[in-house]
């Protein structure tokens, strides 16, 4: 089921606007709790899993990233905290996300704060549904999340890797709706995730996407490749001859759909290239390009 971008925008009723001076390299998306979330986020999972992330995060902050996406299970919250100390970016100019991975919610949350060296986080997510089950069940865990939100310790709360069934269950019991659902999302699984995006849109839940560059990093040679190349050529032309990469078109696809991009790179030029997409002047994809890209090869990553 393909959802036209015009319908998706109408369903979500989200404000997608250029960022204020505190987030000059990002685009902001309004959350259902009245807050906002900057895109892109610099993720310290995947390539930095269980590794020291200090050097990469310091470089990202130097290049203008202000949203850092972390999780307890990544095993590098302390090194991220060290990067924050080194970079000395004012706390109010940072957006810090981390994730709950089981155990007593309050205990685990306070441990994350200590490791990160901050007094609050901007977004706290349940990393996987199974971690809520291990923490006493979704009702128990979410009530604790709501308390953290009410106390201002977590400015926004949400989930990660929740499907339609799990998200529906949560919505039925939540006093405070999740503001975000972070999922694995790319061209080859976009079509199967359309019902999940529709449910999120109806409840003003922002989608965050990780592994979105998979068509070129993990599954090269697929049917999305030539489409991405054509889009890159088109945007390069309308941008005055600036050479646009296929990776940038993928991030632009997320931006056009009001989806927060979670991406990472330890390379200076890649970080700058990725941030360039989120400037107001970077042209969006057309509705036709979005449809063509998402219908290129559903399930190709399972070939």
Catalytic residue numbers, as ranges: 74, 127
Beta strands in the chain (DSSP E): 16-18, 27-30, 36-39, 41-43, 67-69, 95-100, 121-126, 154-160, 180-184, 206-210, 260-263
Tokens of 265: 């790179």
Q: How many C-beta atoms lie closer than 10 Å to residue 6's C-beta?
A: 9
> Do the beta carbons of residue 129 and residue 161 sit within 8 Å?
yes
Cα–Cα–Cα angle for 91, 94, 100, nearest 5°? 100
Tokens of 77: 């919250």
Tokens of 168: 């529906």
- DSSP states of 1-38: ----HHHHHHHH---EEE--TTSTTSEEEE-TTS-EEE
Which string of b and e fits 41-72 if b means at least 16 CB within 10 Å?
bbbbbeebeeebbbebbbbbbebebbbbbbbb
CA end-to-end span of the chain, whole Å? 21
Q: What pairs with residue 96 in β-bridges?
A: 68
Tokens of 20: 């204020």
């Amino acid at each position: 089921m393909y959802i036209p971008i015009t319908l998706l925008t109408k369903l979500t009723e989200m404000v997608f606007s250029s960022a204020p001076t505190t987030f000059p390299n990002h685009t902001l998306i309004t959350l259902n709790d009245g807050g906002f979330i900057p895109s892109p986020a610099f993720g310290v999972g995947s390539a930095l899993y269980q590794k020291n992330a200090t050097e990469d995060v310091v470089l990202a902050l130097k290049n203008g990233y202000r949203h850092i996406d972390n999780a307890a299970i990544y095993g590098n919250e302390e090194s991220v905290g060290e990067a924050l100390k080194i970079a000395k970016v004012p706390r109010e100019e940072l957006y810090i996300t981390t994730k709950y991975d089981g155990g007593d919610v309050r205990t685990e949350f306070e441990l994350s704060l200590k490791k990160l060296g901050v007094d609050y986080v901007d977004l706290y997510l349940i990393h996987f549904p199974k971690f809520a089950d291990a923490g006493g069940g979704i009702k128990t865990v979410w009530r604790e999340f709501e308390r953290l939100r009410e106390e201002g310790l977590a400015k926004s709360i949400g989930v990660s890797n929740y499907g339609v069934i799990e998200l529906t269950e949560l919505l039925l019991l939540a006093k405070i709706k999740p503001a975000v659902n972070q999922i694995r999302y790319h061209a080859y699984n976009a079509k199967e995730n359309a019902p999940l995006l529709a449910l999120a849109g109806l409840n003003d839940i922002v989608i965050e996407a990780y592994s979105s560059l998979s068509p070129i990093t993990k599954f090269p040679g697929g049917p999305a490749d030539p489409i991405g190349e054509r889009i890159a050529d088109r945007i390069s032309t309308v941008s005055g001859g600036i050479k646009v990469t296929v990776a940038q078109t993928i991030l632009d696809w997320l931006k056009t759909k009001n989806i927060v991009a979670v991406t990472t790179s330890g390379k200076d030029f890649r970080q700058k290239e990725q941030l360039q997409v989120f400037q107001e002047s970077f042209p969006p994809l057309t509705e036709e390009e979005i449809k063509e890209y998402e219908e290129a090869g559903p399930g190709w990553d399972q070939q």
